[in-house]
Structure 1
Amino acid sequence: MMGKLSTRHLEFPAQLIVQQGAVSNSDYLSTLLASKRILLAIDEGVRELARNALADLYHSELCVIHAIHAANLQSIREIDISCATQQIQTIVAFGGGKVLDVCKRLATKRNIELIVIPTALSSDCISSPVAVIFDEQGQKLSLPAAIPNFIIVDTELCARAPNRLTQAGIGDLLSNYSALLDIEYAKDRVGVDGFSFLLAKSAANEILGMEQYGLDELVVINQLAEGLILSGLAMGFSGDSRPCSGAEHLISHAIDYLKFGEGLHGEQVALAMRFCHALRQQLSLPCFEESVLATLDGFGIRSTPKALDITKAQFLEALSIAPTMRKGRITFLENLPIMAKEDIEQAYQKAFKD
């Protein structure tokens, strides 16, 4: 007889809203005003937006406004002190990835209710169990973080974000296709979590082929928001970032470590995804469909070394240390030391036509 199969207990946000006018139409925020001590975390760039979009909350006597200046350990300490001294019961994170990551990490430490309201869709940090935080030496850390209790994505609000941030979010989401190839590559040694694999692929499918629309059109913003949320949840189900982070992310981490260029995270993983695709082709390894690159190009995402102010020598240096960026992360780049230099060179030329 077959024994009883075990199941997993998975974390979801308690509530999720993705729609036009979601902030102004949210009864939940109004309910909070009447009963809880709230900290509204923002950055200076969205202060006026918060004042208008969250007027009742912003001016409430029960609400403490806290500006986050950087996604670093010091910011986490500062907001932690504010929560303790003000007896905060709920944090509302309103802003971009910097604000969301600091608040997610703080919510983990303090075990406090967290509501996130992104003002830009530049990465999958909205729902991911990871916070990207800088240490005292300026190096990026990927730390465990709470999945928000409540996610509110006002598509009309996010459509006003600079196009480059939206493009970066698309780049980050499309990179799932590359990461999933590395899961397939390593499946005999690490195994495949089928559910998180399916979620990560479904997430990327949300934006594939949407390049005929404008970056600020609500149909794109809606699809991108849903895809990034699914992407974050895929990592939560997996217990790590593997469904959405493969060789392309290792290269991006190396670029960050070496402090090369001026690319956003989503642009860097898009650049690295483009190269990994060309290198896989060169090595006759499985590749994603060309339609992925067509979507990348159709949305005009900066994804070449020149566009991100990275020289060829710098890119190749970052590539050389990429496999060391995350201990235990198996990708096809583990074969880098034995790859022919000609294959790497030809892949670079094909990817970037440089």
Structure 2
Amino acid sequence: MTINTFAVPESVKIGCGILYPRLREFIRPTDRVMLIVDKIVDELYGRNVYTFLEGHCREVKREFVHAGSLREAFLKSYYIVNRDFDAVIAMGGGKVLDVGKYASSMSKRPFISIPTSISHDGVASPIAVLKCDHNSVRSLDCKIPSYIIMDLDIIKTAPDRLILAGLGDLISNITALRDWEKAVHAGKAKMDDFAYIISGTAVRAILQYTKPDIKNTAFLTQLAESVVLSGLAMNITGNTRPSSGAEHLISHAIDATGKGTLHGIQTAMASILVEYLYGGNYCFIRNYLKSVGIPTTFAEIGLTYEDYAQVMRTARTTRKNRYTILDEIPYDDAYLKKIYDAVYGGIDDRQ
């Protein structure tokens, strides 16, 4: 018998007004820490956090993220090791958190993650998405955060579209799990039942809110808990299978057109199409997304029919060795038009 072992955060705190009490709990007065932010978050919250840390620990070094690049993460990890810092704190959106996550993982230091929005399910994942040379983007393995502080008073102030993107990314677990099962049956992937259950539970918990309000504390709490669970499911498997299938490949292909929007918005919209390909209740997903104001068509995110056709033909090539339903459908003009008409009601945005 093989027993799968995996790491979990030492602490995950979700609530209102919890930032400073939890920082006081997690950081010792003798600690030397690096605080990683970007310019926008620094103006909104970072300066106050920096001042707090100056008064609470032995030394604090504030570093900024500009591009969300692998180079930035390397340089910060070098500084952390060279100056023998005790911990890394990153506060911001996905770009900042991923740089902090990877820098702390390389330097083998505890990482405190403080999301200022819930724009995707990478909050607790073992993946850092970083820019590399020639504008390429890579998903790199790393350790999950040691501590996660999700202060809902801060998250509520984030732009609505960032919260909607996090919700959309979570909703796309529905089709990602279908693709995972398909890949297993095709001998292209291995199933982890525990991770499968966790990912499914995370999205079902959100779907219980039939009238979701992204500013409601109870709903935001559940959304925060669900994105953490989704990230943990990826940590259990050591890959993104529990939350990434054909809908994510379509999102990557949309990005390649240069017309992309937020990742979670794209994966949610694409999950409608993928659910249709599976013969599932795609209208349910579409109606749920509409109820919260998430775009449900290519046209709504600024893509033409020609863009759609290009995206569909290139999506399966955007990630090697990721077997999905896109590997089993034809790509002739007639079939792509059939999908488009069925999912989007025959709306033709070519005019």
What's the secondary structure of 1:63's corresponding residue? Answer: strand
The 5 A counterparts of 1:142-291 are: 142-188=139-185, 189=187, 190-210=189-209, 212-256=211-255, 258-281=256-279, 287-288=280-281, 290-291=283-284
The answer to whether the Cα contact below 8 Å between 1:208 and 1:292 also exists between their aligned partners in 2 is no
**Normalising to structure 1: TM-score of the pair?**
0.91
* TM-fit CA distance, 1:9: 1.3
Structure 1 Cα separation of the partners of residues 149 and 205 of structure 2:
18
Counterpart position of 2:24? 29
What's the secondary structure of 2:207's corresponding residue? Answer: coil
Structure 2 Cα separation of the partners of residues 177 and 234 of structure 1:
14
* TM-fit CA distance, 1:23: 0.7
What's the secondary structure of 1:24's corresponding residue? Answer: helix
Letter in 1 for 2:195: S
The answer to whether the Cα contact below 8 Å between 1:178 and 1:273 also exists between their aligned partners in 2 is yes
The 5 A counterparts of 1:82-93 are: 82-93=79-90
Query: Is residue 294 from structure 1 mapped to residue 293 from structure 2 by the alignment?
Result: no
Counterpart position of 1:45? 40
Q: 5+ unaligned residues in a row in structure 2: which ranges? A: none
Q: Which moved more, 1:45-54 or 1:163-172?
A: 45-54
Structure 2 Cα separation of the partners of residues 125 and 292 of structure 1:
22
Letter in 2 for 1:52: N
Counterpart position of 2:298? 305
1:44-73 Cα offsets, whole Å, 9 max, x none, are 111131233564115666111111112112
* TM-fit CA distance, 1:261: 1.2
* TM-fit CA distance, 1:291: 3.4
Structure 1 Cα separation of the partners of residues 278 and 291 of structure 2:
22
* TM-fit CA distance, 1:227: 0.7
Structure 2 Cα separation of the partners of residues 31 and 138 of structure 1:
36
What's the secondary structure of 2:29's corresponding residue? Answer: helix
What's the secondary structure of 2:334's corresponding residue? Answer: helix
What's the secondary structure of 1:329's corresponding residue? Answer: coil
2:52 to 46, 53, 56: 56
1:328 to 321, 345, 348: 321
Q: Percent identity?
A: 31
Counterpart position of 1:347? 339
Q: What's the RMSD between the two structures over aligned residues?
A: 1.9
* TM-fit CA distance, 1:80: 2.3
* Residues 149 and 318 (structure 1), Cα distance of their counterparts in 2 relative to 1, 3 Å cut: same
Structure 2 Cα separation of the partners of residues 62 and 163 of structure 1:
35
Q: Which moved more, 1:89-98 or 1:204-213?
A: 204-213
* TM-fit CA distance, 1:216: 1.5
Q: Which moved more, 1:116-125 or 1:85-94?
A: 85-94
Q: 5+ unaligned residues in a row in structure 1: which ranges? A: 282-286
Letter in 1 for 2:38: D
Structure 1 Cα separation of the partners of residues 2 and 339 of structure 2:
45
Q: Which moved more, 1:195-204 or 1:213-222?
A: 213-222
Structure 1 Cα separation of the partners of residues 15 and 130 of structure 2:
29
Structure 2 Cα separation of the partners of residues 94 and 249 of structure 1:
26
The answer to whether the Cα contact below 8 Å between 2:196 and 2:233 also exists between their aligned partners in 1 is yes
* TM-fit CA distance, 1:247: 0.5
* Residues 210 and 54 (structure 1), Cα distance of their counterparts in 2 relative to 1, 3 Å cut: farther
Query: Is residue 14 from structure 1 mapped to residue 10 from structure 2 by the alignment?
Result: yes
Structure 2 Cα separation of the partners of residues 213 and 324 of structure 1:
35
**Normalising to structure 2: TM-score of the pair?**
0.91
Letter in 2 for 1:310: L
Counterpart position of 2:137? 140
Structure 2 Cα separation of the partners of residues 83 and 226 of structure 1:
30
The answer to whether the Cα contact below 8 Å between 1:278 and 1:348 also exists between their aligned partners in 2 is no
* TM-fit CA distance, 1:289: 6.3
* TM-fit CA distance, 1:249: 0.6
* TM-fit CA distance, 1:280: 2.9
Letter in 2 for 1:42: V
Q: Which runs of 4+ in 1 moved over 6 A?
A: none
Structure 2 Cα separation of the partners of residues 141 and 245 of structure 1:
15
Q: Which moved more, 1:301-310 or 1:122-131?
A: 301-310
The answer to whether the Cα contact below 8 Å between 1:177 and 1:288 also exists between their aligned partners in 2 is no
Structure 2 Cα separation of the partners of residues 127 and 288 of structure 1:
29
Give the paired residue count.
342
